[in-house]
Amino acid sequence: MKMIVGLGNPGREYQHTRHNAGFDVLDELAQRHGGKFRGSFRFPAETGEVSFGGASVLLVKPVTYMNSSGGAVGPLMRKRGIELADLIVVVDDVDLELGRLRIRGQGSPGGHNGLKSVEAALGSDEYVRVRVGVGRPKMPGEMVNHVLSRFAPDEKEAADQVVARAADAVEMMVTDGLVKAMNNFNG
């Protein structure tokens, strides 16, 4: 089984904000494959199971808030017997222009507190991450407001497209492997 984790913040006030790009990609995957998210009594996460390309896939949205995402990811992986090689984490990235994707098989959290939390919980950085470009703020010192804001009307189309492309990339990773997805989607 593959486990796809989208990082974000729970609650209506954070829906479709830049910081919730990971949640948006998981919602897209659930919609495409008939999945529904349910809250868990045992783990601080909403989960849904789907299948595509002959693989069973567990979709996970931690409800711990971004900076504590590892508190859901680590215990759920251990309980379900998910190996690091079967984990894909989808996350927003302010260092990428809106609309760009970057897929890596391992690496540093690059200053992203959600990834830092996941890595601390797993004791490793050897898992796949899909970074979804949401762009940098125009004004210095506006990072928090920027990532917690929704996309401007003139950004909405690019935001929707990158979410769909990220979902395409995750599907390709599951069905055809990491290298093919990196070759087709990094840029």
For the annotated catalytic residues, the residue numbers are: 19
- 3 state DSSP class of 83: coil
Phi, psi dihedrals of residue 73, rounded to the nearest 5°: -65, -50
The beta-carbon contacts of 92-95 under 8 Å, at least 24 apart in sequence, are: 92/7, 92/18, 92/19, 92/20, 92/21, 92/22, 92/131, 92/132, 92/134, 92/147, 93/131, 93/132, 93/133, 93/134, 94/18, 94/134, 94/135, 94/136, 94/137, 94/143, 94/146, 94/147, 95/136
Residue 119 CA to residue 134 CA, distance in Å, equals: 22
Q: Which helix (H) or strand (E) holds 145?
A: helix 143-147
Angle between helices 113-122 and 70-80 (to 10 degrees): 40
Residue 19 CA to residue 114 CA, distance in Å, equals: 10
